[in-house]
Structure 1
């Protein structure tokens, strides 16, 4: 039975060998074979990492974009109400085309390096391994590595929900996240 849903059977591909696997796949995203499961895990990790950066970057932009832009003579990229630009809030048209080109190029380079890493490591490849750990945070033992990867997945899943919450909250209330919940972002000011 599934550890996440004790009343539901565990999907056959989710046998507990992957980090963070608790047998939760009610919509069948894991697919029918190990290759599709690995592909989906890789996508989950990439989205998780982007979400973790976004959860930090969104409020930082709302807090510091205007003061920094004003100090160096550039226009602010926030909306009229002080919200971060997003699909739901608008304001993405203010962002320079050069930024989007640079962002797409960086994403392409990262994807190419990821593909190269997958080919080099073959069956030893672990989804999300980009051979980047400058602070040596990844433990050397298997148990420690599994725990660290599970922590990353849990934080990433929470971040994906948080960034979705930021976007919806700002779209519904038309108030910046930092103004809606100031206790988190301006506790001493």
Structure 2
């Protein structure tokens, strides 16, 4: 009986060993698979199912807002067709209809800018001449152009005869040269050109941003 029990025990042990060996390859395969997955480069693209296509977002063009039908400066009148608001200070004011086309508008704006710049030079030059003329003339041993009360020569103050004719020739020549240069610039068909843009800014006072540029253009004609 004891021998029989021993045989049964040996058979059970062998069966258990066989079962254990049967599962050993699977464990190794699982371990190898885990190692292989760890070695996969993270930079390798992983595609699940169909290949992923890049999404291209198309920007939908936005139409500019429609122009107002009535003048901004005179709401009871229609806006002139040539006054589109593209120029600084354009509020649709042309009650007599001078600017019938864009070309007319640009010519009038050129004249407006030129007169505004001359007015600014005169407004600064008149008081400065009365303050510094006598001092500069004395330093150069010249006769001052201002009168005894330091008033600048003018039609009202008199004294225009003291001004050398060469001065008037130089002023007219310089003004003609600047005007000719501006006319040539306006004919270059440069898309960045606008009335008065001569490209002359030695001190860099013209702003770089669009809002600052529009403010400067508006201040120049006011």
Same fold flag (TM > 0.5)? yes
- Answer 1 or 2: which has greater helix percent: 1
Aligned to 1:11: 80
Post-superposition Cα deviations, 1:105-163, rounded to whole Å, max 9, x if no partner, equal 11121122112212223555310010112233334444443232112222xxxxxxxxx
Q: 5+ residue gaps in structure 2?
A: 1-69
1:150 aligns with 2:210: no
How many residue pairs were aligned? 153
Q: 1:137 to 1:73 in 2, by over 3 A?
A: closer
Greater Cα shift, 130-139 or 42-51? 130-139
Q: What does 1:69-108 align with in structure 2 at a 5 Å threshold? A: 69-79=137-147, 81-108=149-176
Unmatched tracts of structure 1, length 5 or more = 155-189
Tell me which structure has the larger Cα radius of gyration: 2
Q: Matched residues in 2 for 1:89 and 1:8: separation?
A: 45
Please give the secondary structure, in 1, of the residue aligned with 2:220. helix
Aligned to 2:91: 22
Q: Which residue of 2 aligns with 1:62?
A: 130
Inter-partner Cα distance in structure 1 for 2:100 and 2:156: 35
| Aligned partner (choices 82, 98, 114) of residue 46 of structure 1 | 114
- The structure, 1 or 2, with the larger RCO (C-alpha pairs under 8 Å, 6+ apart) is 1
Q: Distance in 1 between matches of 2:125 and 2:197?
A: 23
Q: Structure 2 length as normaliser, TM-score?
A: 0.59
Aligned residues: CA RMSD: 2.4
Displacement, 1:52?
1.1
Q: CA deviation at 1:79?
A: 4.2
